[in-house]
Amino acid sequence: MSLPDILGRIREAERVAGRPEGSVTLIAVSKVQPLDRVEAVLREGHRVFGENYVQEAQGKWPALREAFGPVQLHMIGPLQTNKAKFAVELFDAIHTLDRPSLADKLARLADARGVCPDLFVQVNTGEEPQKAGILPGDADKFIADCRALDLPLRGLMCIPPEDQDPTAHFGLLGGIADRNGLTGLSMGMSADFEAAIALGATHVRVGSAIFGARSYT
Ligand SMILES: *Cc1c(COP(=O)(O)O)cnc(C)c1O
């Protein structure tokens, strides 16, 4: 696959779902990819990227922004509270607001800086013990608590269990967003972004289908 192929499939999925063209943002997930692959996608004109690790992103994006101009960066990996300060300086959006202590920290940073990245609350739709995220049953209260802190909530994010049909999880996330008046839905990855778009995704996070398989060695 390539960037134009993926963009074409996104536009087609929007059309099939009866949604306006351009209503879905493609976040190109560049974590642990070789720099030349990332530069190639930048050269093709793409300007929205996702990263999972604060340190890796810090080492890569200041120079790339220098070279290529403004790039919208989305944090999609678990965020440690002690890295939150670096994250809010680097990222335009954080998709992994998953606990009260992080909400408190982000609120303090927002007060001090006067600006805050767009925030997505991560919901553990599969209620998997090893996975981060607010449990579905706790989501309404957590969203209300974040709003009481004046945090700029943009929407919700989920990572469905690997061994299940993701559509039930996308539907569950959409329902929680609807009843809380949130319009952003960060869901869908390389294997299932079209299904996510059919169920209302506004942000799809696609890595390997654009860049090729990741190698962690
Ligand atoms: C790595 C990652 C992706 C991209 O996964 P692909 O299957 O390579 O598209 C999307 N979302 C999150 C949270 C990730 O960690």
Tell me the CATH number at 38: 3.20.20.10
What is the predicted pLDDT for the residue at 1?
64
Residue from 33, 205, 215 whose mutation best tests the ligand 1 pocket (most atoms within 8 A of CB): 205
The pLDDT tens digits of the residues spanning 163-183 come to 999 999 999 999 999 999 999
Please give the angle made by the CA atoms of 89, 140 and 131, to the nearest 5 degrees.
65
For residue 214, tell me if it sits in a domain.
no
- Quickly state the pLDDT bin for 65 (edges 50, 70, 90): very high
Instruction: Look at ligand 1, atom 4, and give the residue with the nearest C-alpha.
Output: 207
- Quickly state the pLDDT bin for 214 (edges 50, 70, 90): confident
Residue 31 pLDDT greater than 80, yes or no: yes
**How far apart are the C-alpha atoms of 100 and 156, rounded to whole Å?**
15
| pTM, rounded to two decimals | 0.97
* Ligand 1 center–CA 112 separation, angstroms: 32
Residue 111 domain boundaries: 3-209
For residue 105, tell me if it sits in a domain.
yes
Instruction: Look at ligand 1, atom 10, and give the residue with the nearest C-alpha.
Output: 205
Residue scoring higher pLDDT (83 or 217): 83
- Quickly state the pLDDT bin for 217 (edges 50, 70, 90): low
Instruction: Look at ligand 1, atom 11, and give the residue with the nearest C-alpha.
Output: 205
For residue 216, tell me if it sits in a domain.
no
* Ligand 1 center–CA 194 separation, angstroms: 14
For residue 31, tell me if it sits in a domain.
yes
Rounded to an integer, the average pLDDT of 152-168 is 97
For residue 217, tell me if it sits in a domain.
no
CB of 146 within 6 A of ligand 1: the answer is no
* Ligand 1 center–CA 32 separation, angstroms: 11
The pLDDT tens digits of the residues spanning 79-127 come to 999 999 999 999 999 999 999 999 999 999 999 999 999 999 999 999 9
Total number of domains constituting the chain? 1
What token pair was written down for 138? 């706790």
Residue 156 pLDDT greater than 90, yes or no: yes
Phi, psi of 20 (to 5 degrees): -60, 145
CB 28 within 8 A of CB 206: yes
Calculate what percentage of the chain has a pLDDT beyond 70. Answer: 99
Q: What is the Cβ-side half-sphere exposure of residue 112, based on CA atoms within 13 angstroms?
A: 9
Residue 215 pLDDT greater than 90, yes or no: no
CB of 204 within 6 A of ligand 1: the answer is no
